[in-house]
Amino acid sequence: MRLAGRLGGAALSLVMVAVLGFFLFRVVPGDPVVSMTRGRPTTAATQEALRAQFGLDRPVHEQFWSYFTGLLRGELGTSFTFRRPVADVILERLGPTLLLVGTSTLIAVGLGLWLGVRAAWRRNSALDRVTTGVSLTLWAVPTFWLGMLLMMVTGDLFPSRGMRDTDTPPDFLSQALDVGHHLVLPSVTLVAVVCAEYALVMRSSLLEELHAPYLTTARAKGLRDDVVRRRHAVPNAVLPAITLVFLRVGLVVSGAITTETVFSWPGLGLLFYDALTGPDYFLLQGLLVVTAGAVVVMNLLADLLHGVLDPRVKVV
């Protein structure tokens, strides 16, 4: 029953995402065609044709219906700048983003949780103070600025634009090395920003457990300190932390937008930037719906995962 509730809630959220995506770009003052063609020579006839092409000349409820049924079929309209279906453009850019976000998240989770555990276990130690201080500072650092700084400091050491060079040999190994080389700076930027948050979450989660009676019992049994930490304290403390990691997926999304913009990484984040500089409303709407939908799904997964990992939480 709880499972059905969760699934229903997620489905409702997805519908709300779709509705939000539609109205955000329709209720705004001004004519989307006028603002999208601003700065380009267009005749009234062209604008009329564009309006008809995008369906903007029809009543709002008809527009909504065709938009919504389109979504269910996986159609997101046509991009104004790319002159191609939005869904195709987004799919094309999905790979690089998954590579960047996936690598960075794995490193950030590992490093963040490790640091958080160390800091909380030796509370007020030098490591704790440094971890907390650095995390708070990194939280205050704008992602894009960190990226620009890294770019300037490392100079020619790492490539700073795009995902691969055009003159790399086409065999798999050279290509992979080239992409990996390009991946260094963007992923370091993203890791730095996201990892700080994870470390703080893990730290406070473990601090909650520190005075639990079962740890006193474990110590009374004569277990060594790091056995108490690894076998008893961390497994309990890591559960809420992992859920929070999933819940903060929006943070990674925001980080990816600015990181990809700074490093011209050809993923969804850079596509966001292209869409907003256009401005290309249909592309932006598609991106909003896709990323928000993905975040909703990730949250559902976090809920379910938490139920599996922690039997005290009954989800199923």
Q: How far apart are the first and last CA of the chain?
A: 7
Candidate list 69, 123, 277, 301; residue touching another protein; CB under 8 A: 277
Q: Is 201 in the site for another protein (CB under 8 A)?
A: no
* Closer of 237 and 292 to another protein (Cβ): 292
- Find out whether 159 and 182 touch, Cβ atoms under 8 Å: yes
| Identity of the residue, 143 or 218, whose beta carbon is nearer to another protein in the bound complex | 143
Q: Does 134 bind another protein (CB under 8 A)?
A: no
- Least distance (Å) between residue 255 CB and another protein: 9
Contacts with another protein by CB under 8 A: the residue count is 51
Residues 6+ apart with CB under 8 A from 301: 246
Which window, 180-188, 223-231, 237-245, 278-286, contacts another protein (CB under 8 A)? 278-286
Q: Which span (51-59, 75-83, 170-178, 287-295) binds another protein, by CB under 8 A?
A: 287-295
Least distance (Å) between residue 108 CB and another protein: 16
Burial class from Cβ neighbours inside 10 Å (0-12, 13-18, 19+) for residue 216 reads exposed
- Polymer length of the chain: 316
Q: How far is CA 67 from CA 19, 23, 282, in A?
A: 10, 11, 11
Report the residue from 160, 187, 205, 243 that binds another protein according to the rule CB under 8 A: 160
Residue bearing tokens 């256009």:
278
* Shortest distance (Å) from residue 267 CB to another protein: 14
Residue in 99, 151, 191, 242 binding another protein, rule: CB under 8 A: 151
- 78 binds another protein, rule: CB under 8 A: no
Nearest approach in angstroms of CB 265 to another protein is 14
Q: In Å, how far are 54, 69, 205 from 281, measured between CA atoms?
A: 11, 19, 41
And the tokens for 189? 């930027």
Q: How far is the CB of 7 from another protein (least distance, A)?
A: 15
DSSP per residue, 32-79 = HHHHHTTTS---HHHHHHHHHHHTTTS-HHHHHHHHHHHHHTT---B-
Closest by CA to 87, choosing from 73, 71, 75, 102, is 75
Does position 295 interact with another protein (CB under 8 A)? The reply is yes
Q: For another protein, which is the closer residue by CB, 155 or 311?
A: 155
Per CB under 8 A, does 12 bind another protein?
yes
Give the binding range for another protein (CB under 8 A) out of 83-91, 131-139, 177-185, 235-243.
131-139
Residue ranges binding another protein (CB under 8 A): 9, 12-13, 16-17, 24-25, 28-30, 136-137, 139-145, 148-149, 151-152, 155, 160, 247, 249-251, 253-254, 257-258, 261-262, 272-273, 275-277, 279, 281, 284-285, 287-288, 291-292, 295-296, 299
